[in-house]
């Protein structure tokens, strides 16, 4: 996950040397892009742009469920629908970024694809939230588009609204908003949308943000929020929720820091902060550090979060990096569900439970299939996905209840989770095994009133990994590509040495 940073050289003339190095890298990348026959990223994105800002020809049709994807956005209309937009898929050789817009009817168990000639461009790493205003609205901001080779990235800073009642997309042109970014987080409270954090990465340099912007749903204007107190460090992929009282909670997330020359190491944040509005001044905000209690989940990045109608917060999955050596890390993925009391700031791990009579039926149905089981999703023996837990049961004699681990979503990061009509829904996400990435397409629901079992709405279908199992081949390709520049590198190196004397 680390990226090279050529701007760390110290000494006289270091800045000039770095500029020359960046120029060489850019030229090499440009040659490789040309060799691959890939259009410039600006040209690719321009194909999806339109001078019109409002759609009028949206169509909807019943369709198959979405294909495997990660880094999409998901939200729910309170009545009966779940919406999914965008996302990406990588098979080891090529990246596909989606611009599909899906609607899932939780009552009919039916998927529809909504199409329009004017809509947000394909993207991933964006954010989407819903409000009940005017028959329901969905607001979408930011994200990124990656070229098939992943050598080029384009970050968005556009704001869109989908009006559910009118079935119409509209691009909102408002000045003074956040810079282009992805991996940010977005919530709504008191008729205001708040956007926090994120990152911008152009494959040669990167930057993480911890700024906060507010968008008014009353006059459609952006403003940067000035905050008192020490808040979260720059990060992306954090958890961000808004309480009914207007308080905003932020915790976790991910950023990168330099380990040594040309090597970066990911940092998983575990701190929690609250953002409160001054009762006497609605334009004044304050950061406060929070130390939550209860059984806290271990520090994880890529954790997904959703808020129920009663204000209770649910989190799922994520990955925790464990060091193998100074340069390499191994990801420990989770499929745990935790709840957070937003008022008391108390964590609790969610355990499923069933009555003994139901447990007996479960045993009879699965007597030839042990509860603690795994499903092999690759026949080469490299990758094993666990979709079950321990077969141990904890009996509650008073209530005749047993706590068990029934098969449910497998460990993953960056899945989409949402609460709709009292059910927690989980779709897609990503699992890594070594250098392999497995993008998921399964779909589950959990009744939050019963908390007895996961319901499999869509079983996962595994796609073939087409990439190599190590980075050696790609490094060899880079060496071959760079060999043509040996002479120019030597001459520029001589010049660089002169600059730093």
pLDDT digits (tens, 9 = 90+) for 436-482: 999 999 999 999 999 989 999 999 887 789 987 754 444 444 444 44
> Which tokens is 128 given?
């989407």
- Say yes or no to pLDDT of 490 above 70: no
Instruction: Measure the CA–CA gap between 440 and 335, rounded to whole angstroms.
Output: 13
**3-state class of 21 per DSSP?**
helix
Strands (DSSP E) along 243-345, which ranges?
A: 248-251, 254-260, 263-268, 272-278, 281-290, 293-294, 304-307, 313-316, 319-323, 329-333, 337-341
How is the chain split into domains, by residue range?
1-37+477-501, 297-461
- Say yes or no to pLDDT of 363 above 90: no
Instruction: Measure the CA–CA gap between 271 and 288, rounded to whole angstroms.
Output: 11
Q: Kindly list the distances between the CA atom of residue 126 and the CA atoms of 72, 134, 157, 396, in Å, as whole numbers in the listed order.
A: 7, 23, 10, 44
pLDDT tier at 374, thresholds 50, 70, 90 = very low
Q: What is the pLDDT of residues 67-102, one digit of tens each?
A: 999 999 999 987 789 999 999 999 999 999 999 999
- Say yes or no to pLDDT of 255 above 80: yes
Instruction: Measure the CA–CA gap between 254 and 236, rounded to whole angstroms.
Output: 5
483 DSSP 8-state letter: G
pLDDT tier at 160, thresholds 50, 70, 90 = very high
- Say yes or no to pLDDT of 29 above 50: yes
> Which tokens is 140 given?
């979408």
Q: Kindly list the distances between the CA atom of residue 405 and the CA atoms of 59, 272, 347, 416, 420, in Å, as whole numbers in the listed order.
A: 42, 29, 19, 21, 23
Say what the pLDDT of residue 476 is: 46
Instruction: Measure the CA–CA gap between 288 and 6, rounded to whole angstroms.
Output: 36
Instruction: Measure the CA–CA gap between 378 and 384, rounded to whole angstroms.
Output: 7
Residues 6 or more apart in contact with residue 216 via CB below 8 angstroms: 191, 192, 223
Mean pLDDT along residues 193-221 = 94
Edge-to-edge strands, sheet with 272-278: 227-228, 281-290, 272-278, 248-251, 239-242
pLDDT tier at 402, thresholds 50, 70, 90 = low
């Amino acid at each position: 996950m680390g990226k090279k940073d050529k701007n760390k050289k110290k000494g006289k003339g270091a800045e000039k040397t770095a500029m020359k190095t960046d120029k060489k890298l850019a030229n090499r990348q440009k040659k490789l892009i040309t060799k691959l026959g890939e259009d410039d990223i600006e040209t690719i994105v321009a194909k999806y742009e339109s001078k019109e800002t409002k759609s009028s020809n949206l169509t909807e049709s019943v369709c198959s469920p979405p294909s495997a994807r990660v880094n999409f956005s998901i939200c729910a209309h309170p009545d009966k629908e779940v919406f999914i937009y965008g996302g990406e898929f990588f098979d080891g050789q090529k990246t596909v970024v989606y611009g599909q817009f899906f609607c899932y009817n939780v009552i009919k168990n039916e998927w529809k694809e909504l199409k329009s000639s004017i809509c947000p461009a394909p993207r991933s790493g964006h954010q989407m939230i819903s409000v009940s205003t005017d028959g329901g609205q969905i607001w979408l901001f930011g994200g990124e588009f990656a070229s098939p080779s992943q050598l080029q990235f384009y970050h968005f800073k556009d704001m869109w609204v989908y009006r559910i009642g009118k079935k119409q997309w509209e691009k909102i042109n408002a000045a003074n908003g956040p810079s282009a970014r992805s991996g940010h987080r977005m919530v709504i409270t008191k008729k205001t949308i708040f956007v926090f954090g994120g990152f911008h990465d152009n494959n040669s340099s990167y930057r993480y943000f911890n700024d906060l912007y507010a968008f008014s749903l009353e006059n459609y204007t952006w403003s940067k929020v000035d905050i008192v107190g020490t808040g979260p460090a720059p990060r992306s992929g954090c958890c961000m929720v808004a309480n009914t009282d207007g308080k905003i909670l932020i915790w976790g997330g991910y950023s990168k820091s330099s380990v040594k020359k040309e090597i970066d190491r990911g940092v998983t944040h575990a701190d929690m902060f609250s953002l409160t509005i001054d009762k006497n001044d609605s334009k004044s905000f304050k950061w406060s550090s929070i130390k939550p209690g209860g059984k806290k989940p271990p520090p994880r990045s890529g954790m997904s979060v959703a808020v129920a109608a009663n204000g209770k917060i649910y989190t799922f999955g994520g990955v925790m990096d464990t060091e193998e050596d100074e340069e390499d890390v191994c990801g420990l993925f989770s499929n745990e569900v935790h709840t957070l009391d937003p008022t008391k700031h108390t964590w609790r791990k969610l355990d499923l439970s069933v009555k003994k009579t139901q447990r007996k039926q479960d045993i009879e149905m699965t007597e030839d299939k042990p509860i603690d089981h795994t499903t092999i999703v690759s026949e080469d023996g490299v990758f094993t996905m666990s979709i079950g837990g321990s077969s141990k049961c904890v009996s509650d004699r008073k209530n005749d209840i047993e706590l068990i681990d029934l098969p449910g979503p497998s460990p993953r990061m960056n899945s989409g989770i949402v609460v709709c009509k009292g059910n927690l829904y989980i779709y897609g996400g990503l699992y890594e095994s070594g250098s392999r990435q497995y993008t998921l397409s399964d779909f589950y629901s959990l009744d939050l009133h019963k908390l007895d079992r996961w319901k499999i709405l869509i079983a996962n279908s595994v796609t073939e990994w087409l990439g190599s199992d190590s980075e050696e081949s790609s490094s060899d390709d880079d060496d071959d590509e760079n060999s043509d520049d040996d002479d120019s590198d030597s001459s520029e190196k001589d010049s660089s040495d002169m600059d730093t004397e």
